[in-house]
């Protein structure tokens, strides 16, 4: 009996470990909720008003879960095989391209022939912008962020193509040469200052990223040649990125029309605002020397961790930017977010004053916790 009991207690921890690994693997399938919902909406439309609005329900459910569910000890497991997770990245990339194409086709097929067409079509356009913009800002940009940190040129190229679907290809340069090298320093454009509103931050970074990327490329070219020639622009990656995005937009006009081209830019703007809102609350206030001993804020939301493929383990990402998303180590050495990334994205935009009041309290609590009695 003692031997049998001993064997039983040896088996139970193993089974629990295996169960934990299975849950961990399946959890990342949450990343497909928004792009798959967007795919079904676009591929089955146009819809009447009630159905169109109902198609946004998966997002609202994720938002609610992101605000309610907390995991007090989230961990990653570095022993897991990378093939499964690379497959997730590739499928999400494919969905992003397909959804953008379906969006353009769906908008071009809308008919405005009678007065009864106008209101349902406007609702469809509103939902299209909401779903595609949100999916591009989460699945599209988050996957691109993962891929541009990979050493393989093909994966980096795929990441650049994904960023082109939101007209933000220059983010590769500003993120890797700027943010990662100077995080929390005065010259880091992407770090929100203590007391800075999202409105001011958005105005500062949207154009600031472009200027930084262009200057960085000029410095790179001058460093190789010792001077900048009149044809240096032809070696400027930002120039070619802009040119590719412009040619894509012109092609969209020619094939799908002006309304589709406008919606392409509109979803791109919405997606980039999601990205920059995440940058905003990930590092808000950490430029102040009292709180500068950490790379970012801590999130305990499993919804954010899985749906955004490990992005919420942001401190670990800055500690080792080349670590694959499913291997990034979790760190709680930073101020704590009260909610997950989906909720925080809305909060910093809709009620920034209350967000800042909360953030200041949490930074003070974090600072006091570090001071020994």
What pLDDT was estimated at residue 1? 45
Q: Are 267 and 30 in contact (CB under 8 A)?
A: no
Instruction: Write out the DSSP string of 78-124.
Output: TTS-HHHHHHHHHHHHHHHHHHHHHHHHHHHH---SSHHHHHHHHHH
Task: Tell me the domain boundaries of the chain.
Answer: 2-370
What pLDDT was estimated at residue 252? 98
Q: Closest by alpha carbon to 146, among 333, 248, 168, 138?
A: 138
Instruction: Write out the DSSP string of 160-198.
Output: HHHHHTTT-TTHHHIIIIIIHHHTTSTT-TTSPPTT--H
pTM equals 0.90
pLDDT tens digits for range 25-53 = 889 999 999 999 999 999 998 999 999 99
What pLDDT was estimated at residue 75? 59
User: What parts of the chain have a pLDDT lower than 50?
Assistant: 1-3, 8-9, 11-12, 373
What pLDDT was estimated at residue 369? 78
pLDDT tens digits for range 155-211 = 999 999 999 999 999 999 999 999 998 887 778 899 999 999 999 999 999 999 999
Q: 247, exposed or middle or buried, with CB in 10 Å at 0-12, 13-18, 19+?
A: exposed
In angstroms, rounded to a whole number, what is the distance separating the alpha carbons of residues 33 and 345?
18
- Angle at the Cα of 321 from the Cα atoms of 75 and 291, rounded to 5 degrees: 75
Write out the E strands in the chain: none
Q: Closest by alpha carbon to 336, among 357, 307, 308, 358?
A: 358
What pLDDT was estimated at residue 15? 59
What pLDDT was estimated at residue 217? 92
Share of the chain above pLDDT 90, in %: 72
What pLDDT was estimated at residue 373? 43
């Amino acid at each position: 009996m003692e031997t049998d009991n001993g064997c039983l207690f040896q088996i139970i921890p193993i089974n629990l470990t295996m169960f934990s690994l299975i849950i961990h693997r399946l959890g990342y399938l949450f990343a497909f909720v928004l792009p798959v919902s967007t795919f079904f909406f676009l591929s089955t439309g146009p819809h009447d008003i009630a159905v169109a609005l109902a198609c946004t329900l998966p997002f609202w459910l994720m938002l609610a879960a992101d605000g309610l569910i907390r995991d007090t000890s989230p961990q990653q497991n570095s022993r897991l095989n990378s093939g499964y997770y690379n497959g997730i990245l590739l499928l999400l990339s494919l969905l992003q391209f397909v959804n953008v194409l379906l969006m353009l086709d769906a908008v071009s097929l809308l008919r405005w022939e009678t007065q009864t067409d106008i209101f349902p079509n406007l609702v469809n356009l509103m939902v299209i912008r909401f779903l595609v913009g949100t999916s591009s800002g989460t699945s599209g940009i988050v996957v691109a962020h993962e891929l541009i940190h990979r050493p393989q040129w093909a994966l980096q190229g795929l990441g650049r193509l994904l960023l082109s679907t939101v007209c933000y290809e220059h983010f590769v340069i500003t993120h890797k040469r700027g943010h990662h090298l100077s995080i929390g320093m005065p010259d880091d454009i992407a770090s929100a200052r203590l007391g800075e509103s999202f409105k001011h931050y958005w105005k500062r970074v949207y154009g600031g990223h472009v200027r930084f990327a262009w200057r960085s490329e000029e410095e790179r070219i001058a460093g190789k040649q010792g001077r900048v020639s009149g044809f240096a622009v032809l070696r400027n990656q930002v120039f070619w990125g802009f040119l590719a995005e412009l040619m894509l937009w012109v092609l969209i006009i020619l094939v799908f029309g002006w309304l589709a081209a406008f919606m392409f830019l509109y979803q791109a703007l919405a997606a980039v605002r999601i990205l920059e809102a995440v940058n905003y609350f990930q590092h808000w206030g950490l430029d102040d020397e009292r709180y500068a001993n950490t790379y970012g804020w801590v999130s305990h939301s499993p919804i954010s961790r899985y749906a955004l493929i490990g992005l919420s383990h942001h401190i670990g990402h800055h500690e080792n930017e080349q670590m694959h998303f499913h291997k990034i180590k979790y760190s709680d050495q930073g101020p704590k977010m009260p909610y997950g990334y989906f909720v925080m994205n809305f909060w910093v935009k809709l009620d920034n004053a209350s967000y800042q009041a909360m953030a200041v309290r949490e930074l003070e609590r974090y600072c006091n916790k570090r001071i020994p009695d």
